[in-house]
Structure 1
Amino acid sequence: MTRAIEIGGIAIIVLGLLGASIAVLWQVLRGRSGAEAFALYRSNLGRAILLGLEFLVAADIISTVAIEPTLQSLLILGGIVLIRTFLSFSLEVEIEGRWPWDRHRSEGERSSRGTA
């Protein structure tokens, strides 16, 4: 069961890489500037990696709970989850271009500019 989830996570990352690459090539061929195409590529690739990481973390949690949980396996799982959570957080900041706690402030600025 966990092996299938891990394979699914890896497949999401690989297919996301291929899909983002095809999308950026398509955008460049249609005349989009290189900077815009690159930003789109990074965003799409980051989202694929985030989703794949979520699957991999779920597989780690399931495998730790499914086997007899020992203190060592729980500590290893905690370390893996911390590292992957940090990676997910970093990717989210990179994709969105702002800190998560600035989300409401950014949305408020956008709506005030739209009404002015």
Structure 2
Amino acid sequence: METEELFAGVVSVIEIIGVVVVIVGFGIAAVLAVRALSRGKGGHAAYQTLRTSIGGSILLGLEIFVAADIIHTLSAPSLEVAAVLGLIVIIRTILSMSIQIEIDGVLPWRRALLTSGGQVLAGAIADDARAAK
């Protein structure tokens, strides 16, 4: 068995895993949304649960697909293949960021301000700014 065939088989398995992750994630998201709806949390909570869960599974699937593309590039390295990989990674990164923004409702680099440590840091910065005046 040649190295290229081995890499192609590994890439195929990883891509199948990525597809399974997205499909299973959708199923889990649907179950969680139905449970939220049946527990009387309302349609909005069920929708948010569904949206967040599906977004998370898509993000994980995208990461797995990027790993498969990297392995595929290693099987036949060339400038053209590397350029295609770079373009794929850029597109998937933009997609991942937009999905993450949809899930969290905030830019990834602003997310630290929403956590307790970020709030403490933001408060300390605000205190320093007030003291400087």
Q: Output the TM-score relative to the length of structure 2.
A: 0.78
Distance 1:17 1:63 in 2: 27
* Structure 1 counterpart of 2:66, one-letter code: V
In structure 1, the partner of 2:25 is 16
Deviations 1:20-60 (A, max 9, x none): 01111121111111011101110010000000100000000
Listed as ranges, the gaps of 5+ residues in structure 1 are: none
In structure 2, the partner of 1:105 is 113
Larger RCO (alpha carbons 8 Å, 6+ apart): 1
In structure 2, the partner of 1:54 is 63
Distance 2:20 2:64 in 1: 10
Tell which deviates more after alignment, 28-37 or 5-14.
28-37
Q: Which has the larger radius of gyration?
A: 2
Q: Output the TM-score relative to the length of structure 1.
A: 0.89
SS in 1 for 2:106: coil
Quote the RMSD (CA, aligned, Å): 1.6
Listed as ranges, the gaps of 5+ residues in structure 2 are: 1-9, 124-133
